[in-house]
Structure 1
């Protein structure tokens, strides 16, 4: 039965000791703009000024059309005013294309780093017919032929041994090996890849360090995840997202409105006896249309994808990144995401007349032969105590190793003169009780009752009790106490869930544990909801229920059983170490195979949306100051009363128009670093974010142009003829 319990809410994944983050993508985390990037982007910016390229941005196409028109008029009737307006109109177009080109140059730099990890290799392709492959014969022993990795196709089977490079993405179908994935993930610690589980996927370009594996190719060279990431970061596969398309349509509509408004202004001006120069009308049009956001829109989208790629996440589409920013429900697996993945000893509970120090010493000695993570955690717990007992075993001691059959470990210590040998055992409560019965030296009923209470107490909190017992010679056995094992919640997880709640995101912990254990861990971690004893069908049903309520759902998974839920999710993040089915079902692949990355992905998506909204607000707001600069300048000679609108006290009509055009161009250049870096995101409610952006970028968009245009006017007024 599935239990779905509502309760009242990670830090980034903890790297293994000694690992590093030196992958090309992580190394690409840099300042928002460098001079080297600007120089690399200049040729692309010039190519971007081609009208055929600017067709995707009607705003910039109108600006370039205006620049062409003013160039012709300035050549026909030269003046300092006309050439200044023309020069800065061209600068406006150039700065806009430069912003996009810088964003693409950053991607090309990352792509070069990734491409350096690729190399053409020779693959040993198994050439046996299909019936031989299905006969049960070891694939690694079948005939093979050497081929170039570029000649591999989907479904080919290759053998890779220690020291060889895996020629393409695939699944391990036979064998187990350690693989160096540092060139892709940045993790220096090797990982285990083996057949028959959720850790069977391998990535082309990684190196086998030990043993031998047989790999069935799923993505050959040229179609691998690395190749797709290279295309993505270079921008060749970036498609405009629905929100970006919608905003571009809005900007196009606003541009059309202002074109009509300016075009119809001249007849009214002529009728009023205030005929305007065409260059002035073009300047007015360029200053009124939303050039700032129109120039930065594409760069914002590219930079948003870039930030995701820097985190080693491959998004199949920009739509998924945007959806991450609008996620309402986050499904997180318990093991390895919320908890460390292995149960750990957290407490020692003495029973009867045993003291805590005696229990600690016995538990440690009885766990020395237990090489499971749980056994090692008991030794670590005792060793970190201030009164930790000496860890040396006396000569003649005999270790009793842990086995899955006995579910116990222990040690037999040699007896001292006058006393018999000491036998210590630690294990599951039922296993230790069977051992006690086999010794024919049962503890007292009172001790057994107290032991039962301690075991039940640990179980009720969702933990696992291990019992420690001792027998001295032929004396009755003593139960020394209980070791409390529990799934340890990662440090900082509660705080991260608090942040998610502040974003308005509800978290759901998905686990196969029973409801009691799940509720206990969820309460400690601060998760909103729990889906306990979950099956693949349960996950899928939960996602559909949430979506039917109008909510967007994100989840992470790595197994074939996660594929239906990943496909149904609005944001499905598959682990690169998982199965091919999971990676094909999701719309993102995390090359680090870190489930907690889902939280970072949500933050990147929200930052993308916030940056776009903030700069749109700024762009619309800064048009107000341009009205006060250009409109009085156009008509004050005919209607002196409009001089009251010259609140900035600009020097002359010509200097006012030139100053507005110059500011209109320079503000694009000034905002490029912000567009690439992104507006800083602080977890808070949607209303709080809206208030902050209106105050910072709305009010800032109103004030900055007044100051900027005035300062530029002071400089321009020094030019003779203005």
Structure 2
């Protein structure tokens, strides 16, 4: 009996899980079902099964039109103003009234498909906020009078002391009062190289404590942390409507009122003014309702947009909607994150300098052997470099000790080795080593690791997050199009200056926190108008959402991918110029389609009023123009 109950429970849970997966796509399923019913109805009609075909068309009306009809009616009641949804419903019903079920059903199908795409986009926008929220811990270990207590982050108060162990995320903004450690601040600054922090230095929610244990005093409420500001900035930017969207909303209200008003007048005025019979008057009014429906206008944009999106996907460019693809052609400036976008995102060894007392081979082998015991990104880079450039196997040191925040100390063949920052080996000796070579390398944006043997510095290793091979080409292509390029990075001024010069960008801003990037983007938007942001990290999410077009690298964080409007799946920066060219071509085709479809609609309206066309010719003109604009849009598939 227990087994049966368990089986029933599992079946119910599976059904609920399946329903949860299907529900976000229910509008798309309804639209596709409507399309299938239209095809069935058309086949039945061709075989003289009139009643069955009408039933199939009615089902297509109900299934495909339910969501948009419900939305249109609710919006009309709430805003006390008719909308395009209502016009499409009236036009479809008008088609059915005069016996043209196929045209009415197709109208419903096209509109229901557009509604499904809108719903899909809105569902995607919720995921990015959820992804951000998951990065912040829900609980913290509060220390009070020597007693440790697990407390919800929402209940933390300014002045509370919390203990953060190695590998844990910082739950709230605060200041270190005890301990020293390396922190991975990629979630905030986007920089891949961990930062060493000690007493009296600030830490931020969402960052990761890599090694040492820290006691942190809370300095901000959980709702006011830098991490929460990132979430708020994303939400704020996504809630803002684009100028195009506002224009369309104004246009649709006016369009619906004009069409319905004219149709209402056509139902009785021609009878009294022109002497038409009541049958002819109603007939012409229904033709007007059909030919004036924006079916061709809808088809002017959607097929061209979908074709462009498909072409982009084939090239490794993922567009999350036609509006973003359209906006690309209007760009006048593009801002780039540094780490993982212009650069590879991982430090690499660029220089090895030694004194005369040790050979580079011995220096590299012993340094890599010691660093192989650390999981620090700089240590990993050194070990990888040694393995790639030397065939000798690494020999393990006799003893090794990690000095948190400074470096590592080891005994190697009875020699005392120290590897780390300048303060660890003696700042004065480090700065004077090889006539100040470290200072020169630091000015080139490189991170310096010093190596000391038995109290004397014997060499140094310079590392740098190197610029991607294709970066220069991509930036040059954009500059040729007259687009202003700027780099926004959380890194130091020296590093930013070096990377900017190597990347060929027009300008750069260093030491940017996420909110600084947003403010800088807003200033660029004021000066240049349409602006894009290219990034790959969680810290880039607010800037990606603030820009007119957010572009994410394919191997970036999940939040960046969800927030961005365009994703470069192959991390190929030159694809940005290709995307802009595709946008320009799509916009040209859309303009052609819009002008053509409006011209045909106006011609049909005038011809109907002058009684030059009957319903069959009106339908042929209306549906024919729709087919032509669709075929014109599909030309983009060959791009």
**Per the alignment, do residues 463 and 67 of structure 1 end up closer, same or farther by CA in structure 2, a change over 3 Å counting?**
closer
Deviation at 1:83, TM superposition (A): 1.7
Pick the aligned partner of 1:660 from 621, 624, 637. Answer: 621
Aligned to 2:251: 250
Q: Is 1:346–2:350 an aligned residue pair?
A: yes
**Per the alignment, do residues 572 and 141 of structure 1 end up closer, same or farther by CA in structure 2, a change over 3 Å counting?**
farther
Contact 1:320 1:570 in 2 (8 A): no
RMSD: 7.2
The 2-side partners of 1:139 and 1:101 are apart by 59
Deviation at 1:402, TM superposition (A): 5.2
Contact 2:304 2:633 in 1 (8 A): no
The 1-side partners of 2:494 and 2:150 are apart by 54
Deviation at 1:391, TM superposition (A): 0.9
The 1-side partners of 2:624 and 2:391 are apart by 71
Q: Is 1:412–2:412 an aligned residue pair?
A: yes
Q: Is 1:38–2:38 an aligned residue pair?
A: no
Q: Secondary structure at the match of 1:345?
A: strand
Aligned to 1:461: 444
Q: Mean alpha-carbon deviation: is it higher for 253-262 or for 483-492?
A: 253-262
Contact 2:442 2:448 in 1 (8 A): yes
Per-residue deviation, residues 425-462 of structure 1 (Å, max 9, x unmatched): 5555686578989xxxx9xxxxx7xx327545534432
Unmatched 5+ stretches in structure 2: 1-17, 35-59, 164-170, 180-196, 208-213, 313-319, 569-574
Q: Is 1:377–2:384 an aligned residue pair?
A: no
Deviation at 1:382, TM superposition (A): 0.5
Deviation at 1:380, TM superposition (A): 1.3
**Per the alignment, do residues 172 and 571 of structure 1 end up closer, same or farther by CA in structure 2, a change over 3 Å counting?**
farther
Per-residue deviation, residues 199-239 of structure 1 (Å, max 9, x unmatched): 5259xxxxxxxx999998759xxx9x99xx9x99xxxx989
Contact 1:512 1:533 in 2 (8 A): yes
Q: Secondary structure at the match of 1:384?
A: helix
Q: Is 1:390–2:393 an aligned residue pair?
A: yes
**Per the alignment, do residues 541 and 368 of structure 1 end up closer, same or farther by CA in structure 2, a change over 3 Å counting?**
closer
Aligned to 2:529: 551
**Per the alignment, do residues 125 and 62 of structure 1 end up closer, same or farther by CA in structure 2, a change over 3 Å counting?**
same
Pick the aligned partner of 2:113 from 99, 103, 113. Answer: 99
Aligned to 2:364: 360
Q: Is 1:48–2:68 an aligned residue pair?
A: yes
Q: Is 1:529–2:512 an aligned residue pair?
A: no
Contact 2:92 2:105 in 1 (8 A): no
Pick the aligned partner of 2:205 from 176, 179, 200. Answer: 200
Aligned to 1:137: 144
**Per the alignment, do residues 139 and 383 of structure 1 end up closer, same or farther by CA in structure 2, a change over 3 Å counting?**
same
**Per the alignment, do residues 613 and 155 of structure 1 end up closer, same or farther by CA in structure 2, a change over 3 Å counting?**
farther
Q: Secondary structure at the match of 2:445?
A: coil
Deviation at 1:487, TM superposition (A): 2.8
**Per the alignment, do residues 389 and 469 of structure 1 end up closer, same or farther by CA in structure 2, a change over 3 Å counting?**
farther
TM-score scaled by structure 2? 0.54
TM-score scaled by structure 1? 0.49
Contact 2:416 2:454 in 1 (8 A): yes
Contact 2:419 2:450 in 1 (8 A): yes
The 2-side partners of 1:334 and 1:327 are apart by 20
The 5-angstrom pairing of residues 17-28 of structure 1 reads none
**Per the alignment, do residues 512 and 244 of structure 1 end up closer, same or farther by CA in structure 2, a change over 3 Å counting?**
closer
Q: Is 1:485–2:489 an aligned residue pair?
A: no
Aligned to 1:622: 597
The 5-angstrom pairing of residues 178-577 of structure 1 reads 200-201=205-206, 218=223, 241-253=242-254, 278-284=282-288, 286-288=290-292, 290-293=294-297, 328-335=332-339, 338-339=342-343, 343-349=347-353, 351-352=355-356, 355-368=359-372, 372-385=376-389, 387-393=390-396, 397-399=398-400, 401=402, 404=405, 409-414=409-414, 426-427=419-420, 451-452=434-435, 454-455=437-438, 457-468=440-451, 479=458, 481-489=459-467, 493-494=471-472, 497=475, 506-511=484-489, 513-532=491-510, 542=520, 545-549=523-527, 551=529
Give aligned pairs, total: 515
Instruction: State the structure with more CA Rg.
Output: 1
Contact 1:369 1:400 in 2 (8 A): no
The 1-side partners of 2:525 and 2:126 are apart by 40
Higher relative contact order (CA 8 A, sep 6+): 1
